Structure 1
Amino acid sequence: MRHVMVVDLGYGDAGKGTVVDWLCASRPVHTVVRFNGGAQAAHNVVLRDGRHHTFAQFGAGTFRPGVRTHLSRHVVVDPLALAAEADHLTAVGVPDALDRLTVDGEALLATPYHRAANRAREIARGADRHGSCGLGVGEAVAYGLAHPDEAPRVADCARPAMLRRRLTALRDRLTAELGPLDAPPVEDCLPAYAAFADRVAIVDRAHLAGVLRAGTCVFEGAQGVLLDEWHGFHPYTTWSTTTFANAEALLAEAGLAGTAQRLGVLRVTTTRHGPGPLVTEDPALPFADPRNPTNPWQGRFRFGHFDAVAHRYALAAAGGVDGLALTHLDLAGPALRICRRYDTVDRLTPGPAGDLDRQAALTARLLRARPVLDEAPTDWPAAVAAELGAPVLLTSHGPTADDKVPALAAAVSAPR
Structure 2
Amino acid sequence: MPSTVVVGGFFGDEGKGKIISYLAQKDNPEIVVRGGAGPNAGHTIEDGDKKYKVRMLPSGFLNKKARLMVGPGVVVNPDVLHKEISEFDCSSRTFVDFNCGIIEASHLEADSAGRLKEKIGSTGSGTGPANADRAMRTLKMAKEIDSLKKYLIDVPGEINTALENDKTVLVEGTQGTFLSLWHGGYPFVTSKDVTASGICADIGLGPKNVDDVMVVFKSYVTRVGEGVLENEISAQETASRGWSEVGTVTGRQRRAAEFNFSLAKRAILLNSATQIALTKLDVLFPECAHVQSFEKLSEAAKSFVTKIEDELNVPVLLIGTGAGVGDIIDLRT
Same fold, judged at TM 0.5 (above): yes
- Three-state SS of the structure 2 residue aligned to 1:379 is helix
* Paired position in structure 2 for 1:22: 22
* Equivalent residue runs for 1:354-369 within 5 Å: none
Pick from 219, 229, 241 the counterpart of residue 193 of structure 2: 241
Pick from 180, 195, 205 the counterpart of residue 147 of structure 2: 195
| Alpha-carbon distance in 1 for matches of 2:207, 2:194 | 20
* Paired position in structure 2 for 1:306: 259
How far the C-alpha of 1:240 sits from its partner, in A, is 1.5
| Alpha-carbon distance in 1 for matches of 2:208, 2:56 | 25
TM-score, normalised to structure 2, is: 0.87
Q: Give 1:390's aligned amino acid.
A: V
Conserved 8 A contact 1:329-1:395: yes
| Alpha-carbon distance in 1 for matches of 2:147, 2:301 | 54
* Paired position in structure 2 for 1:292: 247
* Paired position in structure 2 for 1:389: 313
| Alpha-carbon distance in 2 for matches of 1:156, 1:268 | 43
Query: Which runs of 5 or more structure 2 residues have no equivalent in the other structure?
Result: 287-299
| Alpha-carbon distance in 1 for matches of 2:220, 2:199 | 27
* Paired position in structure 2 for 1:116: 109
Deviations 1:320-352 (A, max 9, x none): 211100000011149xxxxxxxxxxxxxxxxxx
RMSD: 2.4
How far the C-alpha of 1:309 sits from its partner, in A, is 1.4
How far the C-alpha of 1:152 sits from its partner, in A, is 0.6
* Paired position in structure 2 for 1:154: 142
How far the C-alpha of 1:289 sits from its partner, in A, is 4.8
Pick from 161, 169, 177 the counterpart of residue 225 of structure 1: 177
- Three-state SS of the structure 2 residue aligned to 1:219 is strand
| Alpha-carbon distance in 1 for matches of 2:17, 2:249 | 20
How far the C-alpha of 1:156 sits from its partner, in A, is 0.9
How far the C-alpha of 1:293 sits from its partner, in A, is 7.0
| Alpha-carbon distance in 1 for matches of 2:147, 2:199 | 29
| Alpha-carbon distance in 2 for matches of 1:308, 1:153 | 41
Report percent identity of matched pairs: 24
| Alpha-carbon distance in 1 for matches of 2:332, 2:206 | 30
Q: Give 2:213's aligned amino acid.
A: R
* Equivalent residue runs for 1:400-411 within 5 Å: 400-409=324-333
Q: Give 1:394's aligned amino acid.
A: L
How far the C-alpha of 1:117 sits from its partner, in A, is 0.7
Conserved 8 A contact 1:227-1:233: yes
| Alpha-carbon distance in 2 for matches of 1:241, 1:278 | 19
| Alpha-carbon distance in 2 for matches of 1:201, 1:294 | 26
| Alpha-carbon distance in 1 for matches of 2:302, 2:154 | 50
**1:145 lines up with 2:135 in the alignment:** yes
| Alpha-carbon distance in 1 for matches of 2:206, 2:180 | 26
How far the C-alpha of 1:255 sits from its partner, in A, is 6.7
Bigger CA radius of gyration: 1
Give aligned pairs, total: 315
**1:99 lines up with 2:92 in the alignment:** yes
- Three-state SS of the structure 1 residue aligned to 2:231 is coil
How far the C-alpha of 1:397 sits from its partner, in A, is 0.4
Conserved 8 A contact 2:44-2:248: no
Q: Give 1:41's aligned amino acid.
A: A
Inter-CA distance 290–232: structure 2 relative to 1 (3 Å threshold): closer
Q: Give 1:311's aligned amino acid.
A: A
Conserved 8 A contact 1:293-1:300: no
* Equivalent residue runs for 1:156-171 within 5 Å: 156-157=144-145
Query: Which runs of 5 or more structure 1 residues have no equivalent in the other structure?
Result: 90-94, 158-193, 335-375, 410-416
| Alpha-carbon distance in 2 for matches of 1:64, 1:233 | 36
Conserved 8 A contact 2:36-2:74: yes
Conserved 8 A contact 2:28-2:63: no
Conserved 8 A contact 1:106-1:204: no
**1:86 lines up with 2:85 in the alignment:** yes
- Three-state SS of the structure 2 residue aligned to 1:88 is helix
Deviations 1:226-278 (A, max 9, x none): 10000100110001211111344478x66771442110000001110111111
* Paired position in structure 1 for 2:120: 130
| Alpha-carbon distance in 2 for matches of 1:152, 1:114 | 12
